Amino acid sequence: MLLLSEVMIAHTDLESFEDLVPIVKNIAQSGSERFFQMDVKPDYGDTPENWEDRLEAAFY
């Protein structure tokens, strides 16, 4: 299971929500993870209100 907190810890160089979305998409496309849990809210200035929907769409 992919945890959002682990993605953010592994990619501390990310500066925005828009940088996070392609990372999640790439992990999903690699096929290494089947499930995705959003255990934290991304703390970026540009994190939209629908951040969960956007990350879910990027993963699935």
Which pLDDT does position 25 carry in this prediction? 96
Contact status, residue 42 vs residue 17, Cβ threshold 8 Å: yes
2-47 pLDDT, tens per residue?
Answer: 999 999 999 999 999 999 999 999 999 998 889 999 999 999 999 9
Which pLDDT does position 38 carry in this prediction? 97
Q: Is 42 left (phi over 0), alpha (psi -120 to 50) or beta?
A: beta
d(CA 31, CA 17): 22
d(CA 14, CA 9): 10
Which pLDDT does position 46 carry in this prediction? 97
Which pLDDT does position 32 carry in this prediction? 85
